[in-house]
Every structure is written in C-alpha cells, then in structure tokens.
Amino acid sequence: MFCYQCEETMNGEGCTKNGMCGKKGEVADLQDDLIYVLKSVAFYNQKARKAKISEEITDDFMLDALFSTITNTDFRATGIQERIDRGFELRDEIKQKLLDNNALDESDLPEIATVTPENLKDRNTGILATENEDIRSLRELLIFGIKGIAAYGHHAMVLGQTNKKVLSFIEEGLVATTDDSLTDKNLVSLVLRCGEKGFDIMAALDTANTGAFGNPEPTEVNIGTRDRPGILISGHDLNDLKQLLDQTEGTGVDVYTHGEMLPANSYPEFKKYEHLVGNYGGSWWHQKQEFESFNGPILMTSNCIVPPKKTYMDRIYTTGSVGFDGVTHLVAKDGKKDFSAIIEQAKKCEPPVQLEEGSIMGGFAYDSVLTNADKIVDAVKSGKIKKFIVMAGCDGRHKDRQYYTDFAEALPKDTVILTAGCAKYRYNKLGLGDIDGIPRVLDAGQCNDCFSLVIIAQGLMARLGFIDVNEAPISYNIAWYEQKAVLVLLALLRMGIQDIVLGPTLPAFVSPNVLKVLVDEFNISPNTNVEEDMERLLK
Ligand code: FSO
Ligand code: SF4
C-alpha cells in the first residue's frame, strides 16, 4: 500500500503498511484498483456522454465509488471489491452500448480501456506507478479534488440535484491522469478547473439542501441532553436525517446530531421536529468517548467514521458510502431507508450521559448573514469590525491542532471568524462574544458550506465597495484533513484568493515544485505559530 491522501499520513510522507486512520493495507490496495477501474469506466462513459447514451446509473455509481475511497469512509475490503466488480460490469455494458451505436473505435484503445478483472492484478494501480514526482503530485491532487466533488455530488444527488458539466469533468479529470502526453502545465490547469467545478458542486448541494429544508437561520443549538433514549446521527447527509426524524416522530426516541450534522439544527425544516434535541459532543475524532457515553444507537451517514470500539459496535450503523466490517450497513430501497431496527434498539437503551450544557450558535449561511448585511457593513465602516478571518475546514486528532483554539482565543475583539466544516469545534464553545450583536464566530455550516462563506465574502465586499476580493479585510487560516478540504482549497484558489495560510501541515502529496507553483501564483503558505500568523493575517 501507499496512501498519502490525508493530513495525518505517516511521518508526513505516506502510509505504507496500515493507515494511521485504521485503514488496512489490503483495503488501500483495493482502493487503488477501484480508482483504476473508475478511470476505465470514465474513458468509456466520456464517449457515451458525447454520443448522448450515458445513463444516470453510471453517475450514481461513480459518485458513490469515488466517495467510498475518501479518508474514514469505507474501511471494508468487501465494500471496495463490490464496487470494483460493479465497475467492470457497468464498464462492459457501456462499451457494448457504444459498439451497438457505432460510437467506439476499438482499433486504438489506450491501456486503461483494456483492463479486465483477470489482468487487473498485473497492472500497477498504485500512486507510485507515476514515476515523475511532479506529475504524480498533480495527478493525485486532481484525483483528491475529484473525490471531494464526488462526495458533495453524492449528497446533492440523493436530493435530486446534479450538475452534468461537473459529472462530465469527473470523467475528463480521471482520464487525464492516465494521459502521459499531458504536461505539468496542462495538469495545473485541470487542477484549477477542478476547483471551479468544486464551487459548482457546492452550489448544487446548497440548492439541494436549501430547496428541501429551507435557508438556515441563526439558531441557538442545545448541547445538553434529555432523559429519553436517543439516536445519534453523524456525517453530512441531510436526507438521511430527514428520514430518521420522520420515522422517530412519536416513538419516544429523541434524535441528536454529532460532528458535521450539527448545522442541520439551523434548517427550518428540521427545527419543526420537537424530538431533534440538539447536538451531542464534538468533532469526528471524539467518537470513541462520545459514542460510548451516548448509550443509544449511532447512525453514520458519511465520513468520518473512526474504527469503532467493541463497546458500541452493536449499536453503530452505517449507510450511504460509509462502511466498516462488523457494522450493520443500511441501504435504501426505492430511495427510502428503513431505520426501524435502530429505533427499536434505541427504545431499549439508556438516555445519553450529559457531557455539557448550554448552547452554541449556528445558522450563519449566506441568506441569514446577507439579510443582516447592513449591520455588518456599518460595523466595518465604523471600525468596530476590523477583520474577518476565514477559519474553515477540518478538525483532526493531532495535538498541534490546539493551535486553532489558541489562535481563535488570541484574535483581537474587533475580528470576526467565518467558519464552516468540523474545524469549528476547536473554538465554537469558547464564548468569544459578539460585536454589537454580531457573533464573533459566524458558522455557515458543513465543510461544503464554504460555498456560503464565498457568497458572504462577495456580498459584503460588494456592499463595502471592494472590487478585488483580495483587497477586502478578509484573511484565510484554513485547516485541512481529508480530500473534501482539498477540493475546498482548490475552489478558493480558483476564485483567485491569495495569501491562504494552510495547516496544520502541508499535504504530503504536494511536491516541492508543485508547492512552488502554489506559492508563486497564490502566495499560499503553511501556518507557523499563533504570534507570527496573527501578525501576517491581521495585516
Ligand atoms: Fe470534517 Fe471528516 Fe466535513 Fe471532512 S467530518 S473532516 S472536510 O470528513 O467532511 O469537515
Ligand atoms: Fe494514511 Fe490518511 Fe491514507 Fe489513512 S487516508 S491510509 S491515514 S494517508
């Protein structure tokens, strides 16, 4: 195995035996095979798309299969192998259809098009198969961004939203990583286009979420517990939450959100449910303690799942692209999921142990913030708000992420943090106060709601008369962990945002030369320490 796709990769270089995340070497190798097969599917489906004979079933498959390989998503060899088998099946069906429609010239097929279940093991599907370090770096950067697109695309798709151009780009990008004629310049431009498509897919997901559940509104989210049994729902899939809330209504079972599901509490549609009690615990990596003390069943709707402890193995469930050996996986039938087994189990469980009390504020997506834009603009004009700091992205378990708590605490009182993603848990309970009623932490939602932060930034800047977003009083101190955050970063770069500070470490997959391009073009830099970063970010 060789995997270096996330921030906690071994020694900042690459996991080679088992993953630091708990992924087994066998699964990592199968994931490489799966990505290889997906490139083959992409090759044929690009042609099918051109011939207007591509089918939605391929899009569904592609999004789920790519999503399953994201850090902390599907840890099962069986889960990945099934997708490899399905990939071959689908690929052969597409190929046959192309032949039936005279839309395929079989005389000149590239190597990727000729992979079969039999010869797959003879192919070198690993990341290191690309010898040139810079080409490898750019190819993987592109693939990781595409994985991020797939995850957001999948959440949008289950709510009936899609973007054909983005789906087509996924195929173009995957095939491009097999094309030896492409130069590093060609690949850089594809990587930036990936960022553009990332923005488009986040927009599609926003349309899906707000269309189905309304525009998030400023909400005090309870972080305490009640004395009834509960179900804890984690991950990013709001459609799963909706179905769970409907099915638990009137059963005497409460529902709590965990991790990235926290923002759901601010959507009007979900606020209607009296038995949605609030949010329990912190970000993804606290699972081992918090799932234990929750006492009731837990439903994981996406990453990040942490290898579960035996103590709660019998009451954790997965659905969608996420999976773990020994954990019951629930699948949809005709778009509906049956959560009755979870609900029945919950009834027999003790109520959750209360970990904290009080509330945290959420719901500051673009609609609610820009509705109150005048107030914010006035505060900027009068000098009460001097700077906005975007501190979006991921949380992670390494001790050095304490930096983000320290940084947030050290920020002067005339600054406002704009956040989205699970990075917020490093400072959303600090009680950083407000500026004339404007909270100093404006939480737009999940990591995909970084889309909202861009719209907020653009909206505020337009009202303040800035034309270039880099002239505005906004700085970026971004925390990354997995591939969705890679996509968000690419989206920000594509918007032309300069001077992003990235941490807690730089991606292992960015080679020195590729880093030089990022520095030269975007002045991106690693975070250092609170004092130094404060100085340059507040400049
Ligand atoms: Fe966090 Fe995990 Fe949303 Fe990521 S839960 S780390 S960027 O999967 O997806 O922010
Ligand atoms: Fe290592 Fe991260 Fe890959 Fe897991 S996802 S194997 S921790 S690089």
* C-alpha closest to that of 243 among 219, 221, 212: 212
CA of 421 to the centre of ligand 1 (A): 6
Q: What is the pLDDT of residues 94-107, one digit of tens each?
A: 999 999 999 999 99
Q: Which atom of ligand 2 is nearest to the CA of 22?
A: 4
Residue 424: pLDDT band (50, 70, 90) is very high
What residue ranges of the chain are covered by domains with CATH 3.40.50.2030? Answer: 219-347, 364-538
Q: Is 225 exposed, middle or buried (0-12, 13-18, 19+ CB in 10 A)?
A: buried
Residue with CA closest to ligand 1 atom 2: 304
Ligand number nearest to the C-alpha of 301: 1
Asked if pLDDT for residue 287 goes beyond 90, the answer is yes
Q: How confident is the model at residue 277 (pLDDT cuts 50, 70, 90)?
A: very high
| pLDDT tops 90 at residue 469 | no
Contact 502, 392 (CB under 8 A): no
* Mean pLDDT for the stretch of residues 320-344: 97
pLDDT of residue 335 exceeding 90: no
21 Cα–ligand 2 center, Å: 6
Query: Does 194 belong to an annotated binding site?
Result: no
pLDDT digits (tens, 9 = 90+) for 368-417: 999 989 999 999 999 999 999 999 999 999 999 999 999 999 999 999 99
| pLDDT tens digit sequence for 165-198 | 999 999 999 999 999 999 999 999 999 999 999 9
Look at residue 536 in the predicted model and tell me its pLDDT. Answer: 95
Which residues are near ligand 1 (CB < 6 Å)? 259-260, 284, 303-304, 394, 421-422, 446-447, 481-482, 484-485
Is the CB–ligand 2 distance for residue 304 below 6 Å? no
Give the number of whichever ligand sits closest to the CA of residue 71.
Answer: 2
Q: Which atom of ligand 1 is nearest to the CA of 304?
A: 2
422 belongs to an annotated ligand binding site: yes
- Pairwise CA distance, residues 316 & 294, whole Å: 11
393 Cα: distance to centroid of ligand 1 (angstroms): 7
pLDDT number for residue 201: 98
Residue 137 has pLDDT above 90, yes or no: yes
304 annotated among ligand-binding-site residues: yes
Give the pLDDT band (50/70/90) at residue 539.
confident
Residue whose CA is closest, atom 6 of ligand 2?
Answer: 19
394 is in an annotated binding site: yes
User: What is the CATH code for 219-347?
Assistant: 3.40.50.2030
Pairwise CA distance, residues 379 & 434, whole Å: 11
For the chain, the helix, strand and coil percentages under 3-state DSSP, each to the nearest 5: 50, 10, 35
Across 454-468, average pLDDT: 93
pLDDT bucket at 129, cuts 50 / 70 / 90? very high
Where in the chain are all domains bearing CATH 1.20.1270.20? 1-129
Residues 476, 407: Cα–Cα separation, whole Å: 12
Distance CA 301, CA 367 (A): 26
Q: What average pLDDT does the segment 347-372 reach?
A: 97
Using the atom order of ligand 2, give the atom closest to the CA of residue 72. 5
Residue 387: strand pairing partners = 415
CA distances from residue 220 to 360, 362, 396 in whole angstroms, order as listed? 6, 7, 25
Ligand 1 center to 269 CA (angstroms):
23
Residue 251 amino acid letter:
T
Coil vs helix vs strand at 428: coil
450 known ligand binder: no
Residue 211: pLDDT above 90?
A: yes
% of the chain exceeding 90 in pLDDT: 98
If you measure from the C-alpha of residue 268 to the centroid of ligand 2, how many angstroms do you get, rounded to a whole number? Answer: 37
Mean of all residue pLDDT scores within the chain = 97
Class of domain 364-538: alpha beta
Residue 276: phi, psi to the nearest 5?
Answer: -85, 100
Give the separation between CA 226 and CA 254, rounded to whole angstroms.
8
Those residues with Cβ within 8 angstroms of residue 74's Cβ, 6 or more apart along the chain or in another chain: 68, 80, 321, 322, 323, 324
Average the pLDDT over 474-487 and give the result.
Answer: 98
* Rounded distance from Cα 222 to ligand 2 centre (Å): 34
Decide: 32 in ligand 2 pocket, CB within 6 A: no
Which whole number is the average pLDDT over 65-92?
A: 98
277-306 per-residue burial string, b: 16 or more CB within 10 A, e: under 16:
bbbbbbbbbbbeebbeebbbbbbbbbbbbb
CA nearest neighbour of 88 among 36, 28, 123: 36
Task: Give dist(CA 401, CA 378) in Å, integer.
Answer: 34
> What was the pLDDT predicted at 42?
98
pLDDT given at position 118: 98
Q: Could you tell me if the CB of 303 is within 6 A of ligand 2?
A: no
Per residue in 289-305, pLDDT (tens digit) is 999 999 999 999 999 99
Residue 502 has a pLDDT of 98
Give the distance (Å) from ligand 2 centre to CA of residue 8. Answer: 7
Beta carbon of 19 within 6 Å of any ligand 2 atom: yes
Ligand 1 atom 5: the closest Cα is on which residue?
304
283 CA closest ligand 1 atom index = 5
Q: How far apart are CA 302 and CA 231, in angstroms?
A: 16
- The answer to whether 349 is a known ligand-binding residue is no
Give the integer Cα–Cα distance in Å for 196 and 166: 9
> Would you tell me how many other CB atoms lie within 10 Å of the CB of residue 371?
12
* Cα of 316 from ligand 2 centre, angstroms: 22
* Ligand 2 close to Cβ of residue 267 (< 6 A): no
Indicate the SS3 state at residue 277: strand
- Mean pLDDT, rounded, for 416-438: 98
Radius of gyration of the chain (CA): 23
- Pocket probe for ligand 1: among 284, 404, 451, 488, the residue whose CB has the most ligand atoms within 8 Å is 284
- pLDDT value at residue 153: 98
241 touches 213 (CB < 8 A): no
Kindly give the distance from the C-alpha atom of residue 327 to the centroid of ligand 1, in angstroms, as a whole number.
21
How many Å from the N-terminal Cα to the C-terminal Cα in the chain?
A: 44
Pocket test for ligand 1, best of 260, 321, 397 (most atoms within 8 A of CB): 260
Which tokens sit at 525? 């830099």
- Specify the fold of 1-129: Substrate Binding Domain Of Dnak; Chain:A; Domain 2 (1.20.1270)
Q: Is 90 helix (H, G, I), strand (E, B) or coil?
A: helix
